Amino acid sequence: MRNHIELGKSGESIACKYLQEKGHVILELNFRFGHKEIDIISLDKDILVFTEIKSRRNYTFGFPEEAVTPRKQGFLKVAAEEYCLDKPQYIKIRFDVISLIIQSGIVKEIMHFEDAFY
Q: What is the pLDDT of residues 49-84, one digit of tens each?
A: 999 999 999 999 999 999 999 999 999 999 999 999
Q: Long-range contact list for 73-81, CB < 8 A, 24+ apart?
A: 73/117, 75/36, 76/36, 76/38, 76/50, 76/52, 78/33, 78/36, 79/31, 79/32, 79/33, 79/36, 79/37, 79/38, 79/50, 80/38, 80/50
pLDDT bracket for residue 3 (50, 70, 90): confident
Residue 64 is given by DSSP the state G
Q: What is the pLDDT of residues 78-104, one digit of tens each?
A: 999 999 999 999 999 999 999 999 998
Domain count, the chain: 1
Above 60 in pLDDT, residue 1? no
Query: 19 is in which domain, residue-wise?
Result: 4-117
pTM: predicted TM-score of the whole model, two decimal places = 0.94
What is the CATH classification number for the domain harbouring 68? 3.40.1350.10
